[in-house]
Amino acid sequence: MTGRILNLLFAVAHRSLRFRSGFLMYFLILILGSIPHARAEIGEVASGLVLHSVAYALITFLLATASRRHARGASLQAFLIVVVMGAVDEWVQSFFPYRHAAASDWAVDCAASFCTAVLLLMLRRKKHLPAA
């Protein structure tokens, strides 16, 4: 079972699936976050800090492991993409009267992405994870 999970998460054959999944997750965040009162209902289960951290860390992981670049380039590329994604997410929120854009949310997105990218880089360098 563990082998199958690792295969999905790191196999070269599944790169495009991880890449598409990262962007699909991002678009779902934008769409679901735009539904009136949906964010408030989700907020009862987890705080905004937790939601932003987990979501953007997972997107970073998916994009970094989908990249064809070497470990450092893959981590940097994923981080930069997520920085832009987080900014666009906050910008989109500013158009809805029941939502508001917050630089602090974007900072959490960036911090989660940075930590994930650095962790992936360190694990790949120590050979705990397969190379990209």
Per-residue pLDDT tens over the stretch 110-127: 999 999 999 999 887 776
Would you state the structure tokens that stand for residue 36, as one six-digit string?
């009136």
∠ CA 84-5-132, rounded to 5°: 50
Residue 16 in any domain: the answer is: yes
Per the listing, tokens 């989908």 go with 66
Residue 130 in any domain: the answer is: no
Domain count, the chain: 1
Rounded CA separation 7/79 (Å): 23
Residue 53 in any domain: the answer is: yes
Residue 132 in any domain: the answer is: no
Residue 11 in any domain: the answer is: yes
Residue 102 in any domain: the answer is: yes
**Domain range for residue 47?**
2-125
What pLDDT digit, counting tens, does each position of 52-110 carry?
899 999 999 999 999 888 889 999 999 999 999 999 999 998 888 877 888 999 999 99
Residue 98 in any domain: the answer is: yes
Rounded CA separation 93/30 (Å): 8
